[in-house]
Structure 1
């Protein structure tokens, strides 16, 4: 394996000049820079990324912690973050936290050990104080889909309460007076906010809140069928269901199909996130659009520390929108 000394000898420059070229210092003449790059290519020299990080105090990488690496929600977000970073010559290193405190901590420790230049955090278990401490210790932190008042300028979130309100109002406007809600885990801020939006829409329409119409599910795939079955078998009437996300709505579709019901006919259904599959289900699923691509792009820009973006979007809260399709229809008498 070639060494810096061999590169310097072939390029006829000092080892210090080679080091400055590798670490991107500007105080190198263009002629010397070209000679070094030519020598590195000829010798097949590859700089040690850890050595570069130590020398320049930058690794040209950003760490990101999400609940799961895969899935209809995190997949597009990760893709957008990586695409935005790569356009600036920065790499993404991602790790899963699985909504587990120790796993989220372990993911953060791993990413910090890789000398990442910033952390993008989509975490639910990690306490606010620990995230605040990361920032105080000098780590550039971007918090997504969550709000921490002490880090307001570093947070990018969705107005989940507005989303829950829009979903429920849509069903009420269609004439449904009994609207059930299958929430995500209510220990999560976004699930609570969507539930609060549901309550707000009921209040505005003069509809009394009925706790029998509420069940708490999981945002993950294929984990909520028991509570969905529990809701439909309760001795309480309803004609529409607001699901806390599209994964829950997909499971409601499964239950309705197994029991010979058609979404939008006997029961109207609306989800949240507007995943790609929502448009391909039959009947097409009504949902609340979560601007995942926008959030991912902004998170990457914040991690790159583009001051103009941060000043424009301090304490940024994105707005969801209603995507009304075939699964929500006028209430049938």
Structure 2
């Protein structure tokens, strides 16, 4: 048997506002009355009417998630975590895929606001634009997930790509490799820039000169890895190790290496980045930098619900660390 807040109030002879304060753990209710209300709510399995509550606040029980590419294994894992946390709070997630198109992103922002969405998570790898910054400054609940803003301190959760790339490159250097190639994403991509920076810092620590011919910038695809390796083979002195800036690139690299008849890791070592599900289908098992993808999504969602529920955020900017997982490809 279900019961409403009005029913509880009538049974106990108190006002609905008293029941509301007790259930939501707000001050102004005596302990004895509060316990009677909570006991009755538990007895009849009281479920709050989220729709009515949100309509009164002129909000829906939905949050928005704006991201550049839902087909990405990385973004899919982060999205899963956001949905899990949203479900626990009684919310649904409206996923908006932009294909990295700023005009499409702006249109989604306007649509979500117009439909009284309670808050928005911006998941991506670029800089936040002025529309996002102004939205955050207006007091509208937003959180940036793996996306940066330089002008103001908006609630953010980011992964330290720089250090992860440093550790991947250092791992290859410690195994005696001096000709280490980097097959990376686009030059203007913030994530690619940070991974390139970590790669260069590791070379510098080992007193090795940076060789631009060992850097391939394409995109984040399997084809990028395959074609990138073929280009590196044409060098007068090809690399003995390859740092693939994500796991899909690493899959392409390994396919090309095998097609060329080379042995992994005896002749060419390979390190990936992300530790997505594709690592389970690679042979040999891929050494990679594991990113806290689920943690990124979950922590971003928790921050957003703290904003929606007018709670304090303990850490406005949260930085997550990656971990090198050593397997047989190195």
* TM-score bucket of the superposed structures, by smaller chain: 0.7 to 0.9
Matched, 1:87 2:109: no
| Equivalent residue, structure 2, for 1:317 | 319
Aligned 8 A contact 2:61 2:117 in 1 = yes
1:260–1:141 CA distance, 2 compared to 1 (3 A): same
Q: Distance in 1 between matches of 2:21 and 2:219?
A: 52
CA distance 1:65–1:287, change in 2 (3 Å): same
Q: Post-superposition shift, 1:68?
A: 2.0
Number of aligned residue pairs: give it. Answer: 304
1:60-93 per-position Cα deviation (integer Å, ceiling 9, x unaligned): 2111011222332122211111111111112111
Where structure 1 has 5 or more consecutive residues not aligned to the other structure, the ranges are 1-10, 14-19, 38-46, 329-333
Report what 1:59 is aligned to.
60
SS of 1:152's equivalent in the other structure is coil
Cα gap change, 1:251 to 1:189, in 2 (>3 Å): same
Identify which range, 137-146 or 178-187, moves more after superposition: 137-146
8 Å contact from structure 1 (residues 302, 309) kept in 2: no
Question: 2 CA distance for matches of 1:317 and 1:109?
Answer: 29
Matches within 5 A, 1:113-262: 113-124=114-125, 127-223=128-224, 225-262=226-263
- Give, in angstroms, the shift of residue 209 of structure 1: 0.5
Q: CA deviation at 1:97?
A: 1.2
Q: Partners of 2:229 and 2:268 in 1: how far apart?
A: 13
Normalization by structure 2: what TM-score? 0.81
1:252 counterpart SS class:
helix
1:78–1:296 contact (8 Å) kept in structure 2: yes
Distance in 2 between the 1:98 and 1:228 partners? 27
Q: What secondary structure does 2:313 align onto? A: helix
5+ residue gaps, structure 2, are: 1-6, 10-15, 24-32
2:288 is equivalent to residue 287 of structure 1: yes
Greater displacement, 84-93 / 122-131: 122-131
Q: 1:319 to 1:186 in 2, by over 3 A?
A: same
From the superposition, tell whether residues 255 and 107 of structure 1 become closer, same or farther in structure 2 (CA, over 3 Å). Answer: farther
Query: Is 73-82 or 173-182 further displaced after alignment?
Result: 73-82
